[in-house]
Amino acid sequence: MLEELELLKIELMAKGMTVSESARRAIEGDKKRPLTLADYASTSGISLELPERIWANAPIQDFNPNFVGEGTQHILDFRDGVFYVRNGQLEVEAKPVPVPEYHDKANSKGEKYTNFSITHTDRVRASPLEGCSNNCKFCDMPLKYDYRTKTPEDIVDSIGVALDDVILPARHIMLSGGTPKPEDYDYLNGVYDAVAQSFPGISFDVMMTPIPDLLDLRRLRGVGINGLSINMELYNEDIAREIMPGKHEISRQGYLDFIKQAVDVFGIGKVRSLLMLGLEPLEDTLKGVEELAVRGCDPVLSPFRPDPSTPLADKLPPTIEFMAEAYERARDIVSKHNGVVMGPRCIPCHHNTLTFPDDSGEYFYS
């Protein structure tokens, strides 16, 4: 049975929240800071730290008018110097995560740092590529950006700025972004090397499509990469073929085989894979959870959130009931596999995933 605060997080992810004028003024301050950088569908809302180490990214009407309306039940309010989330029956303190100080700053070339790296909670996510060589229907990257590579020097510079930010200093690094074209595989490995060499001692993960010609697992482990996120996203192959045709070409078995190899090289607890919740039948997603867990990979449930600019803009996020059942059943599946937990293991990184910390000692702050 889900606890009250766990259910609150699920409700926020499913329905979103409105922001009172007092809360909006308190977040914006005199400098009119943005409520959120809203750089990607799953991070389009305001990240909140709730009691009991629960983190949630709650969509708001500003960026998700396609499903968050004025009548939304949950409200982020501010009074007497404290933020609260309330829904009529429940009111709890909530700490909104501010955007970093560098959000509107530019490098020496006049390019905004956020063109290269963006901090969410305690992690800076750097994107060596703009755009993507794939065209998944849930993603806005190929629609908003022309494909190009960015210089390793600019990526390293932006990460350094994020780590030193005075408002929201990043504690660990993830290199993500779009899938590269084959001619850019060497370039991307050069970026991995440059970041690993520039920030020794800072935990550094890579999120990427499982392309063996790109990701040499032993080499990545050798240069200091801490872990990998190899996101299968959809288990149902027919739906994957329709929604993410480029990634589907790798095949479900291709993902699973690569993930097993990654666990063999990096170890249990160092490899995770995201499954998008709500775009396929729940039974398919749960089969995916089992297939990942049996290979020593941490499954991550990420509820689908429709970006208004994508072909799936009119599809609603999964319901509260769907998410609650998915989490409870996935947790039961994972509990049968030694060393595997619902990912990610970093507690602030739970904000856009269906993950809750427990007393196992497997979850941590970086």
> For residue 191, what pLDDT is reported?
97
The domain of 200 spans: 101-352
Whether 60 and 120 share a structural domain: no
* pLDDT-above-90 percentage for the chain: 88
pLDDT tens digits along 110-139:
999 999 999 999 999 999 999 888 888 888
**82-89 LR contacts (CB < 8 Å, sep 24+):** 83/23, 83/26, 85/8, 85/12, 85/17, 85/48, 85/50, 85/58, 87/8, 87/11
pLDDT tens digits along 191-247:
999 999 999 999 999 999 999 999 999 999 999 999 999 999 999 999 999 999 989
Establish if 321 belongs to a structural domain. yes
| Among 64, 96, 128, residue at a domain's last position | 96
Closest by CA to 231, choosing from 344, 113, 346, is 344
Q: What are the angstrom distances between the C-alpha of 128 and each of 133, 176, 180? A: 13, 7, 9
| Among 52, 68, 96, residue at a domain's last position | 96
Establish if 289 belongs to a structural domain. yes
Whether 310 and 340 share a structural domain: yes
The string of DSSP codes covering 115-168 is GTEEEETTEEEE-SEES-SS--TT--HHHH---EE--HHHHHHHHHHHHT-SSS
- pLDDT exceeds cutoff 80 at 142: no
Establish if 345 belongs to a structural domain. yes
Whole-angstrom Cα distance, residue 4 to residue 51?
11
> For residue 1, what pLDDT is reported?
65
Whether 169 and 91 share a structural domain: no
Containing 52, the helix (H) or strand (E) segment is: none
Whether 134 and 92 share a structural domain: no
For residue 218, what is the domain's CATH number?
A: 3.20.20.70
Residue located via tokens 């609650």: 324
- pLDDT exceeds cutoff 90 at 109: yes
Establish if 362 belongs to a structural domain. no
Whether 123 and 64 share a structural domain: no
DSSP letter for 346, please: B
Establish if 8 belongs to a structural domain. yes
Task: Report the domain count for the chain.
Answer: 2
Whether 191 and 125 share a structural domain: yes
pLDDT tens digits along 273-301:
999 999 999 999 999 999 999 999 999 99
Residue 293 has which token pair?
A: 């867990």
> For residue 131, what pLDDT is reported?
87
